[in-house]
A and B are shown apart, each in its own frame.
Chain A
Amino acid sequence: MKITFPHMGRMDIFIKGMVKALGMETVIPPTNSKKALDLGVKYAPEFVCLPFKLMLGNLIEAFEKGADTVIMVSDKGPCRLGLYGLPMQIILKNLGYKTNWLILDTPHALYGLFQLGIEKDVVKYRDKLTFVDGLLAFHFGWKKMLAIEEIERLSLKIRPYEINKGDTTKGLYQGMEAIESADNLYDLKKAKDAVIKDLRSIPQDRNRRPLKIAIAGEIFVVLDSFANLDIEKKLGELGCEVDRTIWFSTHILHHVGLDKFMRRSKRKAVRAARPYLKYPVGAECNATVGYAILYAKEGYDGFIHLMPFTCMPEFVASGILTRVSKDYDIPIFTVELEEHSSQTHLMTRLEAFVDLLHRKRAKKKVNS
């Protein structure tokens, strides 16, 4: 009985942290790479969205490493995510893997998780574990996730100012590794503080006035740096201060209902989108439109909308964003990501977009 799960951004750090504290047996698939994507593209239906292909690739790699049970977070939405399990099961069965599936789409499904743990000895030393242990494990994973997000946020702030290109990215990757290998809360705090100090000490040119760009869109491609071709890093090195709208922690907090007092919460974004979208379409669609409005009001220079090719809810958003762009006078750039998207292609388009923003800013200055 070995559990596995598909990747989404750095969610693996959260789960690894939790699992480490509980002593569960898991197989974590290798991080998203060209190999996973190729495997996914080979076996997935043709017009399915990019997240499906990557997840399928992850699972195939995990099964090759000996996993036999999949836990997948899902929903009952109008979006395809809720039905991912169905074609994946068919494909993996046809490939000859024996699979157990646990799809967490309703609160009721958590009961299945509980049962699985009791029946199949997933958790070692079960008799010694208590409810408090579970809570502590969750807390540790959560703290790890927050630490990763904090250094990522900091790197986004520092990157446009760095004098030697690539310093921040190098520091960030080293920091992620240090945080990942922390075993307890004390080590974690120490590692995090050291990383933050390192990042702050990167030589910077504080006289620059970087462009401000916000990134929003479908959650998987926004969170996963492989899927979005490292768009944050690219923009940062082009001299733009990037703000990402979706983080793993804010997403969870939104769904638990604890984001009421946060500054840029999804709740506020959905409300801001109401003049354009009168009904919740599903997934991040309403929030994407709302964020474009909120950031335009805050005076951001540009807005980037990420979506996988053939994504249904984000397609609705992309249609409406053209109108938002006109009404609020903010350039919006929709990037459709698929397995054929290339680094250079994206880079060229980003360069053009950044040029446009620079010219727009200069024009504004002259006019005022």
Chain B
Amino acid sequence: MAIRVGIIRALLYYRLYPFWKTFFNSLGIEVIVSGKTTKKLLKKGLKYAPDEACLSIKVAFGHVKDLMDKVDYLFLPRLVSLERGTYICPKFIGFPDMIRSAFDNLSPLIDTSFNLRKRPSNLFFPMYRIGRIFKKSPLFIYRAYKRALEEESKYLSSLQKGILLPEVLSSWEERRTLRSSNPKGNLCIALVGHPYNLYDSFVNLNIIKKLEDLGARVVTPEMVSPLEIKKEADKIPQEVYWSLGREIVGASLYLLESKSIDGLIHLGSFGCGPDSFLRELIADRARKHPEIAYLSLILDEHTGEAGVVTRLEAFIDLIERRKKRSIRLSY
């Protein structure tokens, strides 16, 4: 029987899943992903996570609990840094250790550290260490690594086509061609935030679907090219050293400056450290662009659906009214 490795459907799953999955499958290892986030799963997480945790960590605890007994190895890499000169978040660094202290009789953890802060070319070494856990030959590991890199770059480039990440991910998983997007709505709303808030449809109360139902086209940071993000982020006087944060700020500043959007929604989770600063930076820039409406939503485990719907409807109404008025004024 093939060895089964578990990957949680939380945190950086939405970005790195194709990379991990290709790597493990090429090594002949089966990958099992935890189920979609549900209320039951979150409740399990709340039981084990410390009270002070941010929503994303609580959700991740739930996923670990869900996956725990189904796999031989639990894959929780210690993601310190994935780019030069940046960190992800201190909570990501301590995450495997927190899991180890919170749960008893855990299946063995793979908690290899990924620290590419000083040397971004070092990605192979942690991958090699992971491969050695399963006693694979170095050449075999290298081939799997190369294949994983290829798949990842393909995945990342298809994200740029203006199609939302869940659709790209599912088409990648099912190995089918991307459904060509037909942007419907006449409003363009940018939705920015950490990927684990944007794409977990339980956590964000299916906000993307709701916006689309209200007649809006949704743009996310993944659709902005990395070059533009870098250009905007470099203009900030101090370096934003959280790589996800940098991307969020860079993308939202770019979208605000490009004036291609009608509204900007920042989605943050309760208790998130970086979000508290990012909101301030984005809100400051949004103030300078009064023609673009700005909304900041904070998600927590108690968020009521009705409250979010009301705010979104009001937001869309506001933009539509503004548009009508500006058309009338131009006559």
Residues in A lying within 8 Å of B, measured CB to CB = 45-49, 76-80, 82-83, 85-87, 89-91, 94, 103, 276-283, 285, 307, 309-313, 315-320, 322-324, 334, 336
Contact A319-B280, Cβ < 8 Å, known A78-B90, A78-B242, A309-B52 = no
Q: Assess the B53–A315 pair: CB atoms within 8 A.
A: yes
B-chain residues with CB within 8 Å of residue A319 when the two chains form the complex: 49-50, 53, 94, 98, 101-102
Q: Chain A nearest CB: distance from B95 CB in Å? A: 8
Query: Which residue of B has the minimal Cβ distance to A83?
Result: B277
Find the A residue at minimum CB distance from B96. A278
Binds A, one of B26-34, B159-167, B268-276, B307-315: B268-276
On whether the beta carbons of B274 and A80 are closer than 8 Å, the reply is: yes
Separation of A133 and B209 alpha carbons in the complex (Å)? 68
Which 9 residue pairs spanning A and B have beta carbons closest together? Answer: A316-B94, A323-B101, A78-B87, A47-B276, A319-B98, A312-B273, A312-B90, A87-B280, A319-B50
Look across to chain A and name the residue whose beta carbon is closest to the beta carbon of B273: A312
Asked if B101 and A322 sit within 8 Å, CB to CB, the answer is: yes
Pair A282/B90 contact, Cβ less than 8 Å:
yes
CB-nearest residue of chain A relative to B285?
Answer: A90
Q: Identify A103's interface contact among B88, B95, B238, CB under 8 A.
A: B238
B residues touching A (Cβ–Cβ < 8 Å)?
49-50, 52-54, 78, 80, 87-91, 93-95, 97-98, 100-102, 111, 113, 236-238, 240-242, 268, 270-277, 279-281, 284, 298
Residues of chain A lying within 8 A (CB to CB) of residue B50 = 315, 318-319, 322
Residues of B within 8 A of A285 (CB): 90, 94
Cα–Cα distance between A309 and B274 once the two chains are bound (Å): 14
Q: Which residues of B contact A336 (CB under 8 A)?
A: 52
Residues on A with C-beta less than 8 A from B275 are 47
For the complex, what is the distance from the CA of A278 to the CA of B115, rounded to whole Å?
Answer: 13
Chain B residues contacting A315 (CB-CB under 8 Å) are 50, 52-53, 90-91
Structural contact, A91 and B93, CB atoms closer than 8 A = no
Give the docked Cα–Cα distance between A159 and B100 (Å). 40
Q: Judging by beta carbons under 8 Å apart, are B276 and A310 in contact? A: yes
Taking a contact as CB atoms closer than 8 A, the residue among B80, B100, B284 that contacts A279 in the complex is: B80
Q: List 6 A-B contacts (CB under 8 A).
A: A47-B268, A78-B241, A276-B101, A320-B94, A322-B102, A334-B52
Bound-complex Cα distance A280 to B277 (A): 23
In chain B, what residue has the closest Cβ to A307? B52
- Determine the distance from Cα of A353 to Cα of B236 in the docked complex, in whole angstroms: 47
Please give 12 more A-B residue pairs, beta carbons under 8 A apart, in addition to A78-B241, A80-B274, A317-B94: A45-B276, A45-B280, A47-B270, A78-B88, A79-B90, A82-B241, A86-B238, A94-B284, A276-B97, A282-B90, A283-B90, A311-B273
CB <8 Å contact, B238 and A277: no
Residue of B nearest to A75 (CB): B241
Q: Is the CB of B102 within 8 A of A87?
A: no
From the candidates A83, A276, A309, name the one contacting B241 in the complex (CB within 8 A): A83
Given B89, B95, B274, B281, which contacts A90 in the complex, CB threshold below 8 Å?
B281
For A276, the chain B residues whose CB sits under 8 A away are 97, 100-101
Residues of B within 8 A of A79 (CB): 90, 273
Q: Is A48's CB under 8 angstroms from B90's CB?
A: no
Q: Measured between C-beta atoms, what is the minimum distance from A312 to chain B in Å? A: 4
Q: Check A47–B272 contact: CB distance below 8 A.
A: yes
A311 to B113, CA, bound (A): 23
Bound together, the chains give a CA A85 to CA B272 distance in angstroms of 19
Query: How near does chain A come to B126, taking the closest CB pair, in angstroms?
Result: 12
Smallest CB separation, B8 vs chain A (Å): 16
Contact yes or no, A312 B91, CB < 8 A? yes
Complexed CA–CA distance, A91 and B274 (Å): 17
Residues of A within 8 A of B113 (CB): 279
- Whether A90 contacts B284 by the Cβ 8 Å rule is yes
* Distance, CA A91 to CA B90, complexed state (A): 25
**Minimum CB–CB distance for A19 against chain B, Å:** 26
Q: Is the CB of B97 within 8 A of A320?
A: yes
Bound together, the chains give a CA A310 to CA B101 distance in angstroms of: 20
Contact for B111 among A45, A78, A278, CB less than 8 A: A278
Most buried by A among B89, B98, B270: B98
A residues less than 8 Å from B95 (CB atoms):
316
Which residues in B have their C-beta under 8 angstroms from that of A279?
78, 80, 93-94, 97, 113
Q: Is the CB of A76 within 8 A of B279?
A: no
Q: Are B52's CB and A318's CB within 8 A?
A: yes
Knowing A90-B284, A94-B284, A279-B78, the reply to whether A78 touches B277 (Cβ < 8 A) is no
Looking at the assembled complex, report how far the CB atom of A56 sits from the nearest CB atom of chain B, in whole angstroms.
11
Bound: A79/B100 CA distance, A: 22
CA distance A318 to B242 in the complex (A): 22
* Docked pose: A77 CA to B273 CA in angstroms: 13
Distance of A280 Cα from B90 Cα, bound (Å): 9
Instruction: Kindly list chain A residues whose C-beta atoms are within 8 Å of the C-beta of B268.
Output: 47
Measured between C-beta atoms, what is the minimum distance from B330 to chain A in Å? 32
Q: Min CB distance, B166 to chain A, in Å?
A: 27
Question: In the complex, which residues of chain A have a beta carbon less than 8 angstroms from the beta carbon of B276?
Answer: 45-48, 80, 310
Give Cα A95 to B279, complex, Å: 18
Bound complex: CA A285 to CA B101 (Å): 15
The CA-CA distance from A89 to B274 in the complex, in Å, is 17
- A91's nearest neighbour on chain B, judged by CB, is B280
Best-surrounded residue of B89, B277, B298 (most CB of chain A within 10 A): B277
